Amino acid sequence: MQMSGRNVNVNSVFYAEAYHPVQAGSIDGTDILPHDNAVYRAFLCSSAGLYDPLGDPKLIGDPYCTLFVGHLSHLTTEQSLRKALSKYGRVKDLRLVRHIVTGASRGYAFVEYETEREMQRAYKEAHHSFIDDSEVIVDYNRQQLMPGWIPRRLGGGLGGKKESGQLRFGGRERPFRAPLRSIPYDDLERLGIPPPPEGRYMSRYQHIVATAQSRLDNLVLEHYQTSTPKLLSVFVSYLCL
């Protein structure tokens, strides 16, 4: 196992370019073991090639013009969603995903625009907007664009809510955080997980040292700011003798 030895900005984040279930379940992208049953299920699906992201007959249109819209109100209909998103461009097609038995909305949809430019505008402006009193999230159509994609229903996906206990990292809502521990390069390579990019993290030891140095610098500065006026006062008094 190789060790990290770079001293850089600890507040950096980074995003997944390809999907790996074990990595998506890790807050810093360095886990090498599934941490819950859903991640393990997604890992099995990925390893065995049981899911074909392009094999869904319900996929709509051009993936480069299509957005995923999540956290929709269950009261939102195709008509109200189209009306809300038409302010960003011409909506060509729309699919509000519904339960196969009850027909109730599952809280997310795929929206295709006439052009990629209109899609990009919606991507930038519709994120965290409100539709039917619900704050929605907007992302690219990762099912078709992200290599290795595994959907939420199979234990994959991205994002999620804390109360679900199944957060997935590396996407727009929850990017990977900069690791504060040694990076297990060999193990990540064995699993086919790309390591955090260069210049994005520091080791835990470096983080502790940097934090201690910062605190020391602040103490020195505070001491200097409080003691200097007193020293100047004494010096001036001495000159006036």
pLDDT above 90 (res 8): no
Q: Which helix (H) or strand (E) holds 110?
A: strand 105-113
Q: Check residue 7 and give its pLDDT.
A: 42
**Which range among 68-72, 109-113, 195-199, 221-225 shows the weakest confidence by mean pLDDT?**
221-225
Give pLDDT tens digits for 18-54.
Answer: 999 999 999 999 999 998 899 999 999 999 999 988 8
Give pLDDT tens digits for 153-182.
Answer: 899 999 887 777 789 999 998 999 988 778
Domain ranges of the chain: 1-53+149-200, 54-147, 203-241
Give pLDDT tens digits for 109-126.
Answer: 999 999 999 999 999 999
pLDDT above 90 (res 127): yes
Residue count (the chain): 241
Q: Which conformational region is residue 165 in: left (phi greater than 0), alpha (psi within -120 to 50 degrees), or beta?
A: left
pLDDT above 80 (res 205): no
Q: What is the mean pLDDT of residues 230-236?
A: 50
Q: Check residue 229 and give its pLDDT.
A: 55
| Best CATH choice for the domain 54-147 from the list 3.40.50.300, 3.30.70.330, 2.40.100.10, 3.20.20.70 | 3.30.70.330
C-alpha distance across the termini of the chain, in Å? 69
Higher pLDDT, 160 or 142: 142
Identify the band that residue 10 occupies on the pLDDT scale cut at 50, 70 and 90: very low
